[in-house]
A and B are shown apart, each in its own frame.
Chain A
Amino acid sequence: MKHGSSSPIILLLSRVISPYIMLFGMYVVFHGHYSPGGGFQGGAMLAASILLIRIAVEEKVHQMHFKRTLGIPLGAVGVLVFFGTGLISLLLGGYFLDYHLLPIPWLEAPDLRNAGILIIEVGVGLAVMTILVSIYDNLLEDDDV
């Protein structure tokens, strides 16, 4: 399959829209405490903004945007952020994923749980974004790569 469009309209429009989709995806990830949203939904929107660039521009340019080889490792980082958050509280004497034992000294227990939820949401968002992009890359890899 040939990537990239020769039409300047599609190129310009996708370049304009993509950052706003990414910004709104980050808003959905980080505002999940107060409104509908969270890691999964926000990660899907971040992946949508990257995939829009992937569809619109040619291979050389979108590999500068987000490298194909970064997909799986960053997804593993996202899973490890989640798992490591649970493991830290396990090592500090509590239960697995019991956030009120996280080593942030200036926060009380309820705020620590708030922070723990935020950390795991960021991990989930990172993993979902990179894995979706990685699946797209592996499905539509060019023959001459």
Chain B
Amino acid sequence: MKIANYVSLIAFSALLIYASLGLPYRGDAEALVNKETSLIGSPVASSYYIKNAYRDTHTPNIVTTVLGDYRSFDTLGEEVVIFAAGMICFLLLRREKKSETRQQ
């Protein structure tokens, strides 16, 4: 059983490493995501961000611009998720003094 676990683990790691060899290098201008037009001829978003991020927001950090401006709906959702996690912890784990006295 243990050997089967190790064999499957190694096989899966080998599969993942083999798959990662096909990924484009970071900043590769020939990669599909960095081209101006996609395979079917429509414009690609990332080239627009790289060209116009500083002109639109006067912010040198493109990551911040994408996170806070172009994709701010997503960031709002993330913040609401964190707030919901805190609310759930508060509602489930807080100590309720009244309910304890009722049980006794």
Q: Which residues of A contact B (CB under 8 A)?
A: 32-36, 38-40, 71-72, 75-76, 78-79, 82-83, 86, 96-97, 99, 110-111, 113-114, 116-117, 120-121, 123-124, 127-128, 130-132, 134-135, 138-139, 141, 145
Q: Are A124 and B75 in contact (CB under 8 A)?
A: yes
Query: Given A76-B83, A79-B80, A131-B86, does the pair A114, B72 have CB atoms closer than 8 Å?
Result: no
Chain A contact surface mostly:
helix
Tell me the nearest residue of chain B to A117, going by C-beta.
B68
Chain B residue numbers with a CB within 8 Å of A99 are: 69
Q: Which residues of B line the A interface, CB within 8 A?
A: 55-61, 63-65, 67-69, 72-73, 75-76, 78-80, 82-83, 85-87, 89-90, 93-95
Kindly provide the distance from the CB of A88 to the nearest chain B CB, expressed in whole angstroms.
13
CB neighbours of A123 from chain B (8 A): 79
Given contacts A131-B86, A134-B90, A135-B86, contact A82 B79 (CB under 8 A): yes
Known pairs A75-B83, A121-B68, A134-B89; A33 contacts B76 (CB<8 A): no
Residues A139 and B89 in contact, CB atoms below 8 Å apart:
yes
A35 to B63, CA, bound (A): 9
Q: A72 and B58: CB pair below 8 A?
A: no
* Interchain nearest-CB distance for A59 vs B (Å): 14
A35 to B80, CA, bound (A): 25
The CA-CA distance from A111 to B78 in the complex, in Å, is 25
Distance to closest chain A CB from B93 (angstroms): 4
A99-B56 Cα distance, complex, nearest whole Å: 11
Can you offer 14 A-B residue contacts whose CB atoms are under 8 A?
A33-B61, A38-B63, A38-B67, A78-B83, A79-B79, A82-B76, A86-B72, A110-B58, A116-B68, A117-B68, A123-B79, A127-B82, A135-B89, A145-B95
Closest to A38 in B: B64
Given the complex of chains A and B, what is the CA–CA distance between A132 and B85 in angstroms?
9
List B contacts of A138 (CB < 8 A).
89-90, 93-94
A110: nearest chain-B partner, CB-CB: B58
